[in-house]
């Protein structure tokens, strides 16, 4: 790949970034800037950005989600427990597994059953498929153009058709894993509370192994190309929240932990985390009970669970310039590729060990109960909680998607990034802001893809 | 796969009124034994769907500001699609972007006939508006002629 530098970096003089007193030409009169992005591209859903700066002081920053609320929790009320996985899968076309599995696990907890053995392995395997397709799609097609000064993946394909071909093939393999286990790639139909409607045939699972071996090398190749990007210099001391599992790099099960010592069972989520409504967003803002803003997603997982990555994944991380923690979220593109390598390896391990189970699911008897489930969606922890009545009908539902949890942290990053880059032109600052939002691979929802960006410089 | 080597791809969501025109036409043609597929419009999937077919007819609802029922026709292998004609999909790329990506990567079929049918009503619900239903009949007849010519 031809290495190109992001255009906007050229407008930053060395040493000028972030230094309030370093101006060569101090403005005599008040300078106000309004930067607006009405519709952000290369994200899922409808969102906008507004920044107002006066005399180099940030007066306002809003990451607005104006997509209308979707009322999934209300749809679920009154329905039987077994409807939840299929209905919640519709929340997202990119990460339906996260919703199906979180809902299933919550129901299983409420109904007192546990899914183990080959059925558990199948769940982890299909989740690997989701990580692969989602991570590669975002990293290669949506995020990489930011680092190359390109508008979109089409330009990237002209520049480097090989990397786009590889990415498409990797994404396709992720989809194939979901199809083989889940019946189809978008909104799979084979997952249920207790396991699966039908266990996939052993030979179908084994057929995934050879392509996955190719995928490991392919993902490493892509990771190395991305490792050559120039990354804007911005870090925060993130409060990283993720799952952690004693035996494995947590994907679909675990306790909720943070790098500040939090370690709780999933069921206690609401004792430590809350959601607040803010006027400028139709998605609730997630935060900890004391108001702490936190990060969830690839970098949070990497920082919390690095030790549990495979040897190969750690080596790739080192080779592309990552340490044992990564607090520069522009490098989330690298962390996603490291996790992709890991997911491919893990998928091979699971596929090689797979034997068809006698039963495709654990039997479930409806009853009254409360249950919570949480998995690591590609974008971060996705939490579900349901209350069931005596017949197993849903009385109450709560679902917290990763992007709503990340929103306050996205705004905090934007504040920091704008503050450190006031020397950039409006156009370059706008680009940098969009890039900052895309660090999170925000899944604003499954609607049109545009974001509105406004910067007011008064 | 297909006897004639022609695949008709119907793009859209039949539960959003006029957005369903592609799937509606595909369904009618399928009843006559023509190879069809219905897709949501996600670009990566589309590029997979048309692989192996020398001639692909793609039908999608359009939203360019023209009068409802306007029939836009393109030979995509010969000309670039005007941008802004089709709805952006929620995902990686829309129909137009998928076609451009395929062109760059050398993955376009030898012939790709694109029908864009200007919609009026993209709200929730089933059924086409009168203008779009009329345009759908015209498009359907033209596609049948294309298939017949291919068979001949």
The tens place of each residue's pLDDT in chain B, 152 residues long, gives: 444 589 999 998 888 899 999 999 999 999 999 999 998 777 777 888 898 899 999 999 988 888 999 999 999 988 887 765 554 443 446 788 788 889 989 999 999 999 999 999 988 899 999 999 999 999 999 999 999 988 76
DSSP B102-147: HHHHT---SEEEEEEEE-S--SSBSS--HHHHHHHHHHHHHHHHHH
Instruction: Assign A164 to helix, strand or coil.
Output: helix
- As a whole number, mean pLDDT of residues A281-288 equals 80
Q: How many CB atoms lie within 10 A of CB B149?
A: 10
Question: Is residue A211 within 8 Å of A175, Cβ to Cβ?
Answer: no
In chain A, the N- to C-terminal Cα span, in Å, equals 41
User: Closest by alpha carbon to A10, among A329, A428, A328, A455?
Assistant: A428
pLDDT digit string (tens) for A86-124?
A: 998 887 777 899 999 999 999 999 999 999 999 999 999
A44–B91 C-beta distance less than 8 A:
yes
Contacts of A449 in chain B (CB under 8 A): 88-91
Pairwise CA distance, residues A357 & A359, whole Å: 5
Contacts of B44 in chain A (CB under 8 A): 137, 168, 171-172
Pairwise CA distance, residues B136 & B125, whole Å: 18
Picking from A93, A137, A154, the nearest residue to B90 by CB comes out as A93
Q: Is the pLDDT of residue A14 over 80?
A: no
Q: What radius of gyration, in Å, describes the C-alpha atoms of chain B?
A: 14
- As a whole number, mean pLDDT of residues A214-240 equals 96
The alpha carbon torsion through A164, A170, A176, A178 (nearest 10 deg) reads -110
Give the Å distances, CA to CA, from B76 to B36, B40, B54. 18, 19, 13
Picking from B44, B90, B100, the nearest residue to A168 by CB comes out as B44
Contacts of B40 in chain A (CB under 8 A): 93, 186
Pairwise CA distance, residues A345 & A140, whole Å: 20
Pairwise CA distance, residues A315 & A306, whole Å: 12
Pairwise CA distance, residues A126 & A163, whole Å: 25
pTM for the predicted model, two decimal places: 0.85
The alpha carbon torsion through B62, B66, B70, B73 (nearest 10 deg) reads -60
A448–B90 C-beta distance less than 8 A:
yes
Mean of per-residue pLDDT scores for chain A = 86
Q: Please give, rounded to a whole number of angstroms, the shortest distance from the CA of B44 to a CA of chain A.
A: 7
In the structure encoding, which two tokens stand for residue A308, read together? 């549990």
Q: Is the pLDDT of residue A3 over 60?
A: no
Pairs across A and B, CB distance < 8 A: 55
Q: Is the pLDDT of residue A126 over 90?
A: yes
pLDDT value, residue A178: 96
In the structure encoding, which two tokens stand for residue A155, read together? 């330009």
pLDDT value, residue B8: 96
Q: How many CB atoms lie within 10 A of CB B64?
A: 14
ipTM of the shown complex: 0.74
For residue A67, name the pLDDT band (cuts at 50, 70, 90). low
CA B129 to chain centre: 18
B105–A164 C-beta distance less than 8 A:
yes
């Amino acid at each position: 790949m031809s290495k190109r530098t992001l255009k906007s970096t050229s407008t930053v003089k060395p040493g000028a970034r972030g230094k309030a007193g370093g101006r060569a030409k101090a403005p005599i009169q008040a300078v106000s800037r309004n930067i607006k992005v009405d519709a952000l591209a290369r994200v899922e859903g409808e969102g906008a950005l507004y920044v107002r700066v006066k005399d180099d002081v940030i007066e306002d920053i809003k990451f607005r989600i104006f997509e209308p609320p979707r009322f999934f929790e209300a749809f679920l009320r009154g329905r039987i427990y077994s409807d939840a996985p299929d209905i919640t899968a519709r929340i997202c076309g990119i990460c339906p597994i996260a919703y199906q599995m979180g809902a299933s696990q919550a129901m299983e907890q409420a109904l007192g059953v546990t899914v183990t053995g080959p059925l558990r392995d199948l769940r982890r395997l299909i989740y690997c498929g989701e990580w692969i397709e989602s991570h590669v799609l975002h990293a290669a097609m949506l995020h990489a153009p930011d680092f190359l000064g390109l508008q979109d993946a089409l330009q990237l394909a002209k520049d480097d058709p090989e990397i786009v071909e590889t990415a498409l093939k990797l994404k396709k393999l992720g989809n194939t894993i979901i199809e083989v286990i889940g019946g189809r790639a978008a909104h799979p139909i084979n997952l249920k509370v207790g396991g699966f409607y039908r266990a996939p045939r052993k030979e179908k699972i084994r057929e995934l192994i050879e392509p996955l071996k190719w995928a490991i090398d392919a993902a490493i190749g892509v990771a190395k190309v991305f490792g050559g990007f120039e990354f804007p210099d911005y870090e925060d001391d993130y409060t990283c929240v993720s799952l952690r599992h004693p035996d494995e790099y947590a994907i679909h099960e675990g306790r909720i932990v943070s790098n500040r010592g939090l370690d709780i069972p999933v069921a206690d989520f609401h004792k430590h985390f809350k959601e607040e409504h803010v006027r400028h967003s139709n998605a609730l803002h997630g935060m900890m009970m004391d108001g702490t803003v936190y990060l969830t997603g690839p970098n949070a997982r990497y920082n919390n669970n690095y030790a549990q990555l495979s040897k190969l994944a750690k080596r790739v991380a080192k080779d592309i310039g990552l340490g044992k923690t990564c607090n520069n979220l522009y490098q989330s593109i690298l962390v996603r590729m490291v996790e992709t390598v890991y997911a491919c390896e893990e998928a091979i391990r699971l596929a090689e060990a797979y034997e068809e189970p006698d039963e495709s699911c654990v039997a479930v008897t409806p009853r009254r109960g409360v249950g919570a489930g949480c998995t690591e969606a590609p974008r971060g922890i996705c939490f579900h909680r349901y209350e069931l009545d005596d017949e197993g009908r849903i009385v109450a539902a709560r679902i917290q998607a990763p992007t709503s949890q990340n929103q306050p942290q996205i705004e905090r990053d934007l504040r920091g990034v704008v503050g450190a880059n006031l020397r950039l032109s409006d156009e370059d600052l706008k680009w940098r802001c969009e890039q900052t939002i895309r660090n999170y691979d925000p899944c604003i929802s499954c609607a049109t893809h545009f974001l509105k960006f406004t910067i007011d410089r008064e | 796969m297909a006897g004639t080597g022609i695949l008709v791809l119907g793009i859209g969501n039949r539960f959003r009124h006029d957005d369903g025109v592609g799937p509606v036409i595909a369904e009618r043609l399928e009843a006559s034994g023509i190879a069809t597929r219905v897709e949501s419009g996600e670009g990566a999937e589309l590029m997979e769907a048309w692989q192996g077919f020398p001639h692909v007819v793609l039908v999608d609802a359009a939203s360019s500001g023209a009068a409802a029922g306007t029939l836009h026709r393109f030979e995509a292998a010969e000309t670039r699609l005007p941008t802004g004609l089709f709805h952006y999909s929620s995902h990686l790329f829309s129909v137009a972007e998928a076609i451009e990506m395929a062109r760059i990567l050398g993955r376009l079929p030898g012939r790709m006939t694109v029908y864009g049918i200007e919609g009026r009503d993209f709200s929730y619900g089933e059924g086409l508006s009168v203008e779009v239903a009329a345009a759908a009949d015209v498009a359907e007849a033209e596609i049948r002629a294309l298939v017949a010519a291919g068979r001949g």
